[in-house]
Structure 1
């Protein structure tokens, strides 16, 4: 009967592995009677630890297995299996591997042992999301490869959806005008998106670039002020927002987050 509750479920599986190998040993002409008694008395993991800590270089059972060319059925072999290693100390693992290699056993044979179904392979970490800098640089490269900057029918400058998304994420969907009448303006619309507008500080029609360093997020009221206020107020607001756009962009470019 499988025991070794002290070492949890993995300890039980290790003991089961040892016990399942005994019939093949008997067929090979070796009856590990004493070994079975140790498992019944102490459990599989403690038995392995006791054998590894024995004063001699090898146990009687290990020597018999070596004579029969069956070291892949030894406790030392089981200890070295990747899915059981956490049950043992570094010293125990080194001793098990040393005993095998000293008897000219090829440790690469461990790689031929099928991984048990219960041993879940580590879930690979999801790929890291590209940073703000990486996304900006990728879009800049894509823009350089595009043949035209205007549409044939409207002659309007083509705006980058990627840059617009980056600026919205960078601002976390909030109005970036520090003089906003509703500081931190953040309203969600019926579509689930913030009720704000991405604006070019210096308009594309005036030669301003379609680039995050020239773009800010404004609430509808601040956008209207920037567009329709008196000239002096528009000039003052543009100068203020130009500095904010550059600062926000430079900060995001220096950071490691993707702006989310």
Structure 2
């Protein structure tokens, strides 16, 4: 039974929406036990606010939904639904939208959700998706706030999935080596993602930064050449790719 948690009828509707989505997650192989316990202990709105209060967007639950391509079942998605927006502050709404777009979730999918019968109010416009510059600067802030538990000299190097996705998007999923034997290499795999690899021009263990300015997209063959080619060939390719990475990053940043 849904309780009155101080957010009135709309708060009850929000909690019902979250609870109704749990069976679908279980069918997908994810059982959000802790999430359900939090709702039971407080309420749906309070649980959502608790999750949004965290500066980290890579919680276990969110990561599992991302892996299963089920972010439309996340709390963040529910928060962004126009008919629930008045339950949350502007800061909470911005954080929810940012977490979704940061993981390449198309906010336009929110418009595909049927307006519930009980909702008669007009739906407000969706918040604009953050730009390349905004996403880079936000991720840089997250990295600065992260405890320095790993270094480039350890075997457990922390890599940013956000920067990786930004570089893939920046390259259009195509090999960025001008000397590629298959110009504009662009092959889609079984998962409907490009069969390319995001690589650091200068390796992390060599002191290269985990940042788009040091990252390029390569097809499997060019990646192998850069990794296992002859020393002179590798040196020349690195120099070329370093310039490409910097130029494309600066262009993307200037385009905001």
What TM-score results when the alignment is normalised by the length of structure 1?
A: 0.50
Partner of 1:140: 140
Would you say the 8 A contact 1:199–1:218 is kept in 2?
A: yes
Partner of 1:232: 232
Shift, 1:148, TM fit = 1.9
Partner of 1:78: none
Partner of 1:221: 221
Give the distance between the partners of 1:159 and 1:122, measured in 2 at CA.
42
Shift, 1:242, TM fit = 0.2
Partner of 1:74: none
Partner of 1:89: none
| RMSD of Structure 2 on Structure 1 (CA) | 1.5
Shift, 1:234, TM fit = 0.2
Would you say the 8 A contact 1:149–1:157 is kept in 2?
A: no
Give the distance between the partners of 2:241 and 2:155, measured in 1 at CA.
27
Shift, 1:122, TM fit = 5.6
Partner of 2:158: 158
Give the distance between the partners of 2:217 and 2:149, measured in 1 at CA.
23
Deviation digits for residues 179-213 of structure 1 (CA, Å, limit 9, x no counterpart) = 10000100011111100000000000110000000
Shift, 1:123, TM fit = 4.2
Shift, 1:156, TM fit = 2.5
Paired residues in the alignment total 135
Is 1:172 paired with 2:172?
Answer: yes
Aligned residue for 1:244, secondary structure, equals: helix
Give the distance between the partners of 2:122 and 2:221, measured in 1 at CA.
51
Give the distance between the partners of 1:135 and 1:184, measured in 2 at CA.
26
Aligned residue for 2:156, secondary structure, equals: coil
**Gap regions ≥5 residues in structure 2:** 1-119
Is 1:188 paired with 2:188?
Answer: yes
Runs of 4 or more consecutive aligned structure 1 residues displaced over 4 Å after TM superposition: 120-123
- Against the structure 1 CA distance between its residues 185 and 149, is the aligned structure 2 distance closer, same or farther, given a 3 Å change threshold? farther
Partner of 2:37: none
Give the distance between the partners of 1:184 and 1:217, measured in 2 at CA.
11
Give the distance between the partners of 1:122 and 1:229, measured in 2 at CA.
60
Larger radius of gyration: 1
Would you say the 8 A contact 1:136–1:163 is kept in 2?
A: yes
Shift, 1:142, TM fit = 0.3
Shift, 1:155, TM fit = 3.2
**Gap regions ≥5 residues in structure 1:** 1-119
